[in-house]
Chains A and B, each alone.
Chain A
Amino acid sequence: MRDVRLEGIVKQFGKVRAVDGIDLHIRENEFLVFLGPSGCGKTTTLRCIAGLETLDEGRILIGGRDVTHLPPGKRGIGMVFQSYALFPHMTVAANIGFGLRVKGVDRTEIDRRVRRAAELLQLGNLLDRYPSQLSGGQRQRVAVARAVVVEPQVLLMDEPLSNLDALLRLSMRAEIKRLQQEIQATTVYVTHDQVEALSLGDRIAVMSEGKIVQLDEPQEVYDNPATVFVGAFIGNPPMNFLTGRVRQDAGRLFLEGEGYQVPLSPEAAARIQAARIDEVTIGIRPENIAVSLTEPEGGGIAASVIVSELIGAQRMLTLALGPHTLKVTTSTEFLPPPNGQVWLTFDPAKIRLFDAATQARLAQLPKAS
């Protein structure tokens, strides 16, 4: 087994709890992404797994073996650093073979494995170069080759793409995905880029202030954020949020806030009632709001257009709804009227409900039998 188990790990720097009690089981061959803003503790968590930080509490098991007190070199890990950390006084071949030399593998075997790793990452003709003679993308590939050549049980990657330009990042992202499927290594990947997380991860662990706030498959993280924070962090543009009170009007339920009222489904109303709260925050993704120039049948929500931007395949509207600002994406053909008045319809199935006080998603009701 090549799984990783974090059991209640805590890492403090002075009074700051950078990692604040994380329990996590990373499955064999899984690609797990730690996602969060800078300072959320994701890199520290990775460094704890690597053994570059010592834990204040908890234990770490790799492949069922307690590695909490083992040095990095004895944990069966390979790590790719954000800065690549290539050894400047060694050639590409010497860099890739470094781990094997340290472990005392014999020279012909080192040569064979270095060549294979170089081939896997298309570095075959660069083996005699020095890191200073390589481009950013090539350095990145050398760093990956150096980490995988030792055949680690777990591959750790700390923002490996953040130093590359946008185009290169796109192609390297695909390459990392391909590589991971090819070598079948359990991979832990740290990033602050939500697109990277959504596209690479089998599961995403969203972190905030040293804790995991949501651990789910990418689609689930995107569709059903566990908290307002997750919804706001993932998606570009992010989820829209409106906070208000529930009101009954002519047999129908509305969420009423300053300058708007949004109709709620009976199911949503039941969940709010079950949670026994007064204030509710609803979240809705920009693509789940329909915009029309005339008031739709059954009522719409009036809003005015502040900015209309073409963002390639879509048009993004920034709208004012009372004192609130909403982002909505529409087709590129939609042109806002001169007076800026539009009507919005929220897809009721896509409205997400949060407790305004705790910012946490309201619990699903048990299915009625």
Chain B
Amino acid sequence: MPLWLRRTAHYLLATLLALWTLIPIVLIGLAALTPRSDFFTWPRTIIPSQFSLESLRFFVNSFGVLRSTGNSLLVALATVVLSLLLGAPAGYALTRFRFRGREAFQTGILITRMFPTSILAVPLAVTFIRWRLYDTLLGVTLMHVTLALPFVVMITAGVFTRVPKDLEEAAQTLGCSRFGAFFRVSLPLILPGLAASGILTFVMSWNEVFAATILTVNNRTLPAQIMGTLGASPLYFKFAGGFFMILPAILFIVAIRRYLINLWGVSINK
């Protein structure tokens, strides 16, 4: 295949993939910014006659949305902090030390993801009620941490592999303690990786709907809240809700895009 053809095919595929994800987002975005009255005109237009924040304002001000947004943010941030605190040391141990049961541990981590949450739903709910965690943000956070941990451990283990042991040893011979060597040398080098797995965890928790719906009644996170009210809502409300949900994830990913690129070894600027 000549080079120009290969290049064209390459870009064509990339464009198709981009469209595949972008079109729904753009459509939702447009619909969310369409004034309410436009939804009842015929024929429907894709581009609204004018942009308006009316639907979004209505959505944000409707019952429970602001509170559940707060809940979602709280749960997502707590999930990020907890899963990094637990997962990063595990990833570090997996790459730095040869210990008995290392392989089993690595496989075991993945096994936790093999059970669909729906199977675990009832026993989980019962247990949480017993432990008085039911309908609390702490309960949802714990659940999200459980879901996120395998990814955090695997990603951080991958990142730590790229920091040679020599570097920490060199720091030790230059006067650092084991911890000092980690904080002065390894941590700065893995920060991008930690940031990336943090983002992934945040987005995962922000989007997670199933566990959040089962485990809460009054203290809902945003997806659970929307799930609960969606069926009975008008169309413009649904679009506004959808757009509102997507927005933080997009902003977040744009903000940390540089680190993601770094983590995945792709460079756009070079």
Choice from B170, B172, B175, B188 contacting A89 with Cβ under 8 Å: B188
| Residue pair A79, B170 in contact (C-beta under 8 Å) | yes
Q: How far is the CA of A18 from the CA of B166 in the complex (A)?
A: 20
| Residue pair B175, A99 in contact (C-beta under 8 Å) | yes
Residues of B within 8 A of A73 (CB): 172-177
Interface of B is mostly: helix
Query: A79-B170, A81-B170 given as contacts; is B185 within 8 A of A87 (CB)?
Result: yes
Whether B70 is near chain A, meaning CB under 8 Å from some CB there, is: no
Residues of B within 8 A of A266 (CB): none
Q: How far is the CA of A221 from the CA of B102 in the complex (A)?
A: 46
| Residue pair B173, A79 in contact (C-beta under 8 Å) | yes
Q: Give A90-129 as 1s and 0s: 1 = Cβ < 8 Å from B's Cβ atoms.
A: 0000000011001100000000000000000000000000
Q: Give B143-172 as 1s and 0s: 1 = Cβ < 8 Å from A's Cβ atoms.
A: 000000000000000000000101101111
Residues of B within 8 A of A147 (CB): 173
- Nearest chain B CB to A38's CB is how many angstroms away? 17
Interface size on A, residues (CB 8 A): 25
Residues of B within 8 A of A156 (CB): 173
| Residue pair B169, A81 in contact (C-beta under 8 Å) | yes
Whether A150 is near chain B, meaning CB under 8 Å from some CB there, is: yes
- Nearest chain A CB to B136's CB is how many angstroms away? 41
Query: A87-B185, A88-B189, A89-B188 given as contacts; is B169 within 8 A of A99 (CB)?
Result: no
Residues of B within 8 A of A150 (CB): 174-175
Residues of A within 8 A of B169 (CB): 52, 72, 81, 85
User: Which residue of A is nearest B167, CB measured?
Assistant: A85
Q: How far is the CA of A78 from the CA of B173 in the complex (A)?
A: 6
User: Which residue of A is nearest B188, CB measured?
Assistant: A89
Query: A87-B185, A102-B180 given as contacts; is B173 within 8 A of A52 (CB)?
Result: yes
Choice from B164, B166, B184, B188 contacting A102 with Cβ under 8 Å: B184
| Residue pair A85, B164 in contact (C-beta under 8 Å) | yes
Choice from A51, A83, A88, A99 contacting B174 with Cβ under 8 Å: A99
- Nearest chain A CB to B179's CB is how many angstroms away? 11
User: Which residue of B is nearest A79, CB measured?
Assistant: B173
| Residue pair B172, A71 in contact (C-beta under 8 Å) | yes
User: Which residue of A is nearest B174, CB measured?
Assistant: A99
Query: A83-B164, A89-B188 given as contacts; is B174 within 8 A of A102 (CB)?
Result: yes
Choice from A71, A77, A81 contacting B177 with Cβ under 8 Å: A71
- Nearest chain A CB to B100's CB is how many angstroms away? 12
- Nearest chain B CB to A14's CB is how many angstroms away? 10
Residues of B within 8 A of A99 (CB): 174-175
A-B contact pairs, 22 of them (CB 8 A): A51-B172, A52-B173, A71-B172, A71-B178, A72-B172, A72-B173, A73-B175, A73-B177, A77-B173, A78-B174, A81-B169, A81-B170, A85-B164, A85-B167, A85-B169, A87-B167, A88-B189, A102-B180, A102-B184, A146-B170, A147-B173, A156-B173
Given contacts A73-B174, A85-B167, 8 further A-B contacts (CB under 8 A): A52-B172, A71-B178, A77-B173, A78-B174, A83-B164, A85-B170, A98-B171, A102-B175
